[in-house]
């Protein structure tokens, strides 16, 4: 069996790869470089020049060959490598007529806990959405910002006391809305410097959040480790990391309790399994990052099935539009739901998602998806302060 074609596909807000063999087996993967999909597509196309004619089952060898050629990496390149790797595992599962998780050692659980996305432009909206999520059976909610989902298009300024004080009040309002029956996974979107994050975290400890995600920018591991050392709330981070070494360096500093590898960014299923094993050795739990299409969800499910230190993973809702559209981006066709771009999705009940028993990933793209749902480019929009300087959000 040889690889006959590697085809990159921009669909709606997503970038996929379809790899077809000379036996007709087809695998699908997704790139997690959602901010730079055009660049990632070029990397996929370049990788395809190497892959055509090769044995698709030599997954680890192909991973090493592509990763170590020239030793460049970064979001666009690693997103491309991830997409290719996921597609090769899909082919392997179909070739052996087994779910991917059976090839990874077999499942250690029968279903995977999820946290559901909850947001809103004001506190009233968030509280209403929290109550709705609880009524629908979810026992964990995330992407939950104490600073609310304010638009990047509006210049920002708040005095420190109002910024931190209002966020603290919002956290306690979240807890009051759902009681102790729902875990709160707080998402700070890298908005605070270390001192602000430490101050904020100390004031919300009694609200018992499950974790504090991305309290500061991902660039300085020592900053995140400092925050972790000064708070009793577990820190979660890693969605923008794109190598095993990134996770290793932060865990070595005791800077994280929950790592957030994105299977579509860190190097696919091959790398995600290694990252999870490293975390297991260091008593760190894994919360896979999955804000993309149901192809990403399918890949996350394979990893979630086989790692003992899995905690829960991200579920944005298959009947919702792409995440980038929901939070203020423009130019994408309205009404395209995540489930429209694929052949099937996976049932979620009482806060847990089924593990597919279908060969491979258990999913493929909808017929003519690229033609039905044309690509809409994501344009840059960095938030600025009222004084014109750039701020993090």
Strand 285-286 and strand 258-259: pairing?
A: parallel
Any residues with CB less than 8 A from the CB of 37 and at least 6 apart, and which? 10, 14, 15, 31, 79, 375, 377, 378
CA distance 318 to 344: 10
CA distance 227 to 233: 10
Of 246, 234, 294, 292, nearest to 272 by C-alpha is: 246
Let me know: does 289 contact 262? Beta carbons within 8 Å.
yes
Q: Which helix (H) or strand (E) holds 323?
A: helix 323-326
CB atoms inside a 10 Å sphere around CB 229: 12
Q: What is the dihedral of CA 45, 47, 48, 53, to 10 degrees?
A: 170
Give me 380's structure tokens: 């840059």
Active site residue 289: yes
Q: How far is CA 150 from CA 122, 123, 309, in A?
A: 8, 11, 34
Question: What percentage of the chain's residues is helix, strand, coil (to nearest 5)?
Answer: 40, 15, 45
Q: Which of 62, 117, 143, 289 is flagged as catalytic?
A: 289
CA distance 372 to 11: 8
Q: φ, ψ for residue 50 (rounded to 5)?
A: -75, -40
Active site residue 189: yes
Give me 21's structure tokens: 């063999």
For the purposes of burial, counting CB atoms within 10 Å of the CB of 14, is it exposed (0-12), middle (13-18) or buried (19 or more)?
A: buried
Q: Annotated active-site positions, please?
A: 189, 289
């Amino acid at each position: 069996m040889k690889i006959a074609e590697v085809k990159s596909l921009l669909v709606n807000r997503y970038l996929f790869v379809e790899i077809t063999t000379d036996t007709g087996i087809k695998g699908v993967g997704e790139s997690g470089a959602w901010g730079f999909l055009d660049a990632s597509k070029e990397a996929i196309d370049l990788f395809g020049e190497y892959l055509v004619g090769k044995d698709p089952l030599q997954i680890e060898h192909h991973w090493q060959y592509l990763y170590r050629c020239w030793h460049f990496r970064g979001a666009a390149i690693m997103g491309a490598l991830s997409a290719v790797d996921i597609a090769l595992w899909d082919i392997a599962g179909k070739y052996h007529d087994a779910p991917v998780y059976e090839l990874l050692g077999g499942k250690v659980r029968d279903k995977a806990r999820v946290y559901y996305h909850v947001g809103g432009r004001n506190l009233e909206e968030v509280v209403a959405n929290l109550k709705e999520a609880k009524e629908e059976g979810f026992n964990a909610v995330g992407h939950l910002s104490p600073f609310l989902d304010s638009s990047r298009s509006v210049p920002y300024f708040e005095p420190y006391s109002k910024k931190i004080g209002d966020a603290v009040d919002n956290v306690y309002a979240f807890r009051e809305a759902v009681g102790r029956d729902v875990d709160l996974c707080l998402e700070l979107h890298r908005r605070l410097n270390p001192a602000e994050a430490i101050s904020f975290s100390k004031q919300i400890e009694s609200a018992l959040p499950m974790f504090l995600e991305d309290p500061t920018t991902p660039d300085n591991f020592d900053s995140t480790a400092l925050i972790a050392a000064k708070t009793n709330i577990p820190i979660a981070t890693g969605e923008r990391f794109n190598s095993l070494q990134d996770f290793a360096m932060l865990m070595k500093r005791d800077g994280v309790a929950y790592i957030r590898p994105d299977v579509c960014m860190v190097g696919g299923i091959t790398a995600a399994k290694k990252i999870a094993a490293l975390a297991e050795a260091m008593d760190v739990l894994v919360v896979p990052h999955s804000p993309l299409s149901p192809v990403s969800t399918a890949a996350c499910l394979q990893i979630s099935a086989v790692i003992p230190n899995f905690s829960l993973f991200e579920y944005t809702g298959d009947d919702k539009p792409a995440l980038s559209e929901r939070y203020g981006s423009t130019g994408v066709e309205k009404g395209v739901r995540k489930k429209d771009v694929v052949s099937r999705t996976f049932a979620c009940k009482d806060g847990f998602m089924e593990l597919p028993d279908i060969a491979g990933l258990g999913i493929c793209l909808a017929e003519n998806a690229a033609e039905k749902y044309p690509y809409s480019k994501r344009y840059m929009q960095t938030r600025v302060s009222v004084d014109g300087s750039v701020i993090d959000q």
